[in-house]
Structure 1
C-alpha cells in the first residue's frame, strides 16, 4: 500500500515537472498598420523557434520547440486585411507547437525574440512587411485562390486544405527493426539476439533523421514485440513514407562469412506483387485517389490502375537500387562488405510497390568478431550514420515533390568558379557554410577547379 502511494506521488511530481518545463503561448496580439502587421506571441518562457514560408496558399509557419498548443487561436482578434487566420498544424515532435499564419497577400516576415520588460514577459515578435501598391494590395501578389475558396463549396475547401498540407511536409523515412518478440532472429555465438541489435541501430537512425530539418522518422516497431513481415510495409504506407529501410543482421552455419550487404526486391517477386495488387480491386482507389470514384467503366479503372502501379513499381525499384549503392558506399567505411552491389531477393518487407525499400544486413552475427562489433555502441552508431548519410545524399539530389527540401532545391543558385576563388571565399560571399556547399555538390574535398559550376544552397 505504501509503495503504491509513493509511486502515485512520484508520477504526479514528474507530470508537474514536465508540464512546468514546457513553454506556453499565453496570448497573441495582432496589430496592423499601413506598412506592416505585427503579431506578438506572449510566452511563459524564452521562445525557441524556427520558421519557414510557403506559397499556394501564402503562409508563414512557426515551429515552437517544447511548447504547448493549448492556447485557443480562435480567440485572437484581427482587424487587418493582411492576416487571413492563425491555425495549428502537425508539429515535427509531439512536445512542440506549429503555428501557421495564413496570409491574403505576399508579405516579408521578420521574427525575433524579446526578453521580459514590464509589463510584458517573454515574447516572440513576427513583423509582416505588407506588399502594397499606392496603399492598395498588389494584384500580382494577392492570394486569389483563398478568396475564391471562401465562396466555394465545402468539398472544394477540403481539397484546398488537403493539397496545402502536403506542401509543408517533411521527408518521411520508415525504419524497420527486423524480427522482435517471440522471433529473436539469428543468435550469435555468445548468445546475442538479432532483434536487440536491429532495434538499437533503428533507434539511433531514428534520432539522426528526426534531428535533421526537413526529415522525420517513423518506426514499424519501437519495442520488443513481433510484427509480421507483410505488416511492416503496410505501416510505412499508412504513414505515407517516402522510403523504407529494414535493418537485419545476417547469419550462416559456419562462422567465417562476414560483412554487410544491401538487398532490394527481385523482378520476379515484383511481378507477383503487381498481380496481387491488381486482383484486389479495393486497392485501385489507393492508386487512383478520387479518380476511382468517377470512373464508371471498371475495365478502364483497371487499365489506369495497372499503368500507375507499373510506373510506381519501376520508380521504386530504380530508387531502391540507387539508394542501395549509396548505402554500400557509406558502409564500406564502417565494415567489410559481403556483397559490393545491391542484391535482389523475394523478401516480404520490400514488396510495397509505391515506396522505395531496401533491406540492410549490417553484418554476420554468426561471426564471433562481428558479433562483438555489433555489441559495441559506437559501432552501431556508425552503422546508423552510414544509412542516414546515404538517405540524406539521395534526397538532397532528388527530394520528393512538395517537401521543404524540394522547395530549398528550387531556390538554389549556381556559381561558376573563377581564378582565385575557393570554397571558403564562396561561403563567405553567399553567407553559407562550406559544409553546406560541399553537401549540395557531393564534394569530398575542399578543392575546386576553374570553370566548375557549383550549386549554392539557400541560406
Structure 2
C-alpha cells in the first residue's frame, strides 16, 4: 500500500510540473539553500560570500542618508546559516557597520548593510569549483578609489630619502637554535666591497604573498594553508626591508583577503616598483617532493613539465578566489599581460639567480637553476619579477619547517640577501621626479 501511495504522489507531482510547463513554458524552480557565509574585511575592500547549492540570484541598490546597501537574494529562504552573517561582521570592518537580514517574501531574503562610508558594490556569481559550490559574492569597494601611495604615506609606511646612500648588504651574523635543536645560520653574510650597493634613490620592492581569502592555496598534511604561511613570511620580509636604508616595501596583501592576479600586477605598477617578489609554498601529488625553487616569466613556454603544471595551477587562483569578469576588466588584463619584454625577463633572471643561491644556503633546492613558465602574476612589463616557491607544503617535513618561526626568518633573510646582491650588480635606474 505504501509503495502504491508513493507512486501516486510522484504522479501528482509530475502532473503539476506538466501543467506548469503548459501554462508558463517553464519548469518549477526549487529553492536554493545558503550552506555557508564568509566575510573577508580588508582596507582594499570587504568581500561577503554566500555559498549555496544553486538557483539563487541577487539584485541590489544603494540608499543614502545614511549610506546603506540593500541586497535582495531571490530563490532562497532565511535559515540559521544566513543568520550567522550578522555575527560575522567585525567591529573593525572598514566599510560595514552592521547587517540586518529578513524574509522579504516567500522566495526572497533581504540583506541590509549599514555602511560606514559610501561604497561602490560589485555583486556577481561564481560557478562551482574546487571545494566550493555556487557562490554569490558581494564586493564592497570604497566609492573613492584608494591611492596606494597616499594610503602608505598616511600610515607612515612610505619612506622618502633622496640622498645617495651606500648600503652594505650585511648585518651582524647571528645564529639560532632551529627545531628540534639544530643550529642554523641566518645567512646574513657581508658582501665584498665590490658588491656593495650604490642606491642613488629610494627603491620600491613589492612583496606579494600568494593566494588569500577564498583561495587557500595548497594545504599540507597537517592542515597548514599556503595562504597563511606565505603571509607570515611576507610580513617578516617586509619588516627586514624596512630596516634597510633607501628601501621601501609595499605588500599586495597584508591580511587574509583575496587579490586577483591582474590587480597584484597593477598594484606594483601603481607604485612604480623596482622589484616584484611573489611568495608561495609548493604542493605536489607525491608527499616526497621537496625543495625550494625560483621562477621567472617565460615568453616561449615552460622550462619543464613541472613548471608548466605549477603555472597552470597558480594561474587558476582567480577562478578559485573569485573575480568579477567584466568586458573592460578583460581588456585591461589583456593590455597588462601582453606587454612583457625581453629586458624584464633578463633582469628577472638575474634577480632569480641571486635569490636562488641564497635559498640554497637554508634549504635543499628542488632544481639547481631558475625555472621559467607563464605565471600571470609575473607579467608586469617593466618590473623584474620572481616567484619564490619556499618549499613543498605537501611534504610533512617541509610543512613543519614552514611553520617554524626560525625557518621563516631564514627564508626572509635569504630573499633579502638575494635582493641586496642583485642591486649590488644591477643598480636601479634613475627616474626623473622619482625619489
More helix by share: 1
Using CA pairs under 8 Å that are at least 6 residues apart, name the structure with larger relative contact order, 1 or 2. 2
Q: TM-score range with shorter-chain normalisation?
A: 0.3 to 0.5
**TM-score, length-normalised on structure 1?**
0.44
**TM-score, length-normalised on structure 2?**
0.46
